[in-house]
Structure 1
Amino acid sequence: MSIADMRRQYSQGRLSDTDLTAHPIDLFKVWLGDAINAGIPDPTAMTVATVDADGQPSQRIVLLKDYDKDGFVFYTNLGSRKARELAGNPRISLHFPWFFMERQVRICGVAEKLSAAQNAKYFLSRPKDSQLAAWASQQSQPISSRELLMTQFQQMKDKFAQKAVPLPDFWGGFRVKPSQIEFWQGGEDRLHDRFEYTKKAHESWTTQRLMP
């Protein structure tokens, strides 16, 4: 079968204006809860899109670690490509693809660095091996082999074998403060339901239905 012929009907549900909440985070909470309860693998996995100085976008999958009405939080190596690009241009887009439920959420906004205290609180809650991996990897930098990476990881295990792993100064989090959030529900005959929330500074959220 040609990939051009691969298609299926979307029939899991509908999204109407009566389902909308005044604040989009409240609807996001419902949808994320639905994804978790449905047993979707990695329901907090999201695509994070940034852009470099030449306008070239890049994407990667990152796990959402917190959210509230102030935004969406993730953590990373501050020397990584995404962190470097955000330093030059804080505009960012997130995307949650919950395919099993025929839903997706798209978020646009600006990323702000978290405080050292916020970074430390989360870092110290991570499993020790994850803490060690943060020290062992200079994320996005070239490396000659996996063996070298594992050697660096073992060196960190030996170094911190009998003591707590401190927060690296090159590791931290970002809060994405949204200005636009779209909720998409697949519909039959490609007549999908799309609702977009938008917010300007110091104003309340507004919503509109978008054509599919």
Structure 2
Amino acid sequence: QNWSTNVFNLVTKRALAYGDATMEWVDGNLGSQITMKYPSVYLMEPGAKGDVLSVAFAGKGQHQDAGGKMIHVAPNTTSTITSKSISKGGGRTSYRGHIKMYPDAKNSKSFVKCDALLLDDASRSDTYPYNDVDAENVTLGHEATVSKVSDEQLFYLMSRGITRSEAETMIVNGFIEPFTKELPLEYAVELNRLIQLEMEGSVG
């Protein structure tokens, strides 16, 4: 979703997955002044699987608060949340996730991975994981990283005749590549175009 920067984007997305069903949320967040969006999947019967794949870009004056919720109700259910966020020009991104495993959700598995990329010292990224496990014999993993575009990376690319802006865009495109490769081609092309416009400050 690509909103004007005066929009407050407050969203509820919820799905129920029953026996051996797979539900996948693919979520891109650009624009808006504030976004609060946490797609959820309720895993209701054995064999159900839920995936959330999310990317967010926050520029000047923006706060992208995104993530996902996986609610394991039944045994032998699996879920993954993969979140990528980019902050530039003092923008702020937040990952907010909730993994709940009810007592009957034995032998279930969940893995969360959230990566944040900061393009300058004024930008900010926060992570707020909430894991609530009441079941036995479950597997739950959480991994979070925050990285910053280094002067060495920029110097290397700029020494090859690439401008600083182009170099930053290349680094960002590499960072979100695991997200874009999951998209149909036409959506991946559009997302890369919007990211480039965000990098140039032309969106909204």
Question: What TM-score do you get using the length of structure 1 for normalisation?
Answer: 0.24
If you compute each CA radius of gyration, which structure gives the higher value, 1 or 2? 1
Greater share of helix: 1
Greater share of strand: 2
Highest relative contact order (Cα 8 Å, sep 6+), 1 or 2? 1
